[in-house]
């Protein structure tokens, strides 16, 4: 039997992907005049993450049922990966001089931070459901 929270997790991930894609399209279209390379990097990287998050959410809809134990393990691993995303984004944002790469870095930090909170929240729910 599929864990009931998987539906909410999938819906939330797809909603985040759609929101991110809409924001990226708007941000790429209506870029501020100041520092256009930074903004281009930021919005382009957010669009890439939106496509990936959407693909993961869509695959959840098509995948066979999983157990609660499997879901907890995936969420725990993802939470660790989210920390790595934040760290790599910080490295790109702080250590590189290219405005484009710095924009990429800040987008990775934003996405990693959201996913960290998202994954930990659903991990806490999964732990309570036993």
1: confidence class by pLDDT, cuts 50, 70, 90: low
pLDDT in tens, 62-110: 988 899 999 999 999 999 999 999 999 999 999 999 999 999 999 999 9
pLDDT in tens, 17-65: 999 999 999 999 998 888 999 999 999 999 999 999 999 999 999 988 8
For the range 103-106, what are the long-range contacts, defined as Cβ-Cβ under 8 Å and sequence gap of 24 or more?
103/37, 103/38, 103/39, 103/40, 103/41, 103/42, 103/43, 103/44, 103/45, 104/41, 104/42, 104/44, 104/45, 106/42
The overall pTM is greater than 0.85? yes
């Amino acid at each position: 039997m599929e864990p009931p929270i998987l539906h909410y997790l999938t819906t939330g991930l797809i909603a985040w992907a759609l929101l991110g894609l809409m924001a990226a399209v708007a941000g790429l279209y209506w870029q501020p005049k100041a520092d256009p390379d930074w903004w281009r990097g930021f919005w382009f990287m957010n669009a890439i993450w939106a496509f990936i998050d959407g693909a993961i959410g869509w695959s959840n809809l098509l995948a066979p049922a999983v157990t609660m134990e499997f879901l907890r393990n995936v969420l725990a691993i993802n939470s660790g990966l989210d920390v790595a995303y934040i760290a790599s984004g910080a490295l790109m944002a702080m250590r590189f001089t290219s405005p484009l790469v710095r924009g990429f870095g800040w987008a990775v930090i934003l996405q990693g931070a959201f996913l960290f909170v998202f994954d930990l929240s659903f991990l806490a729910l999964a732990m309570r459901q036993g």
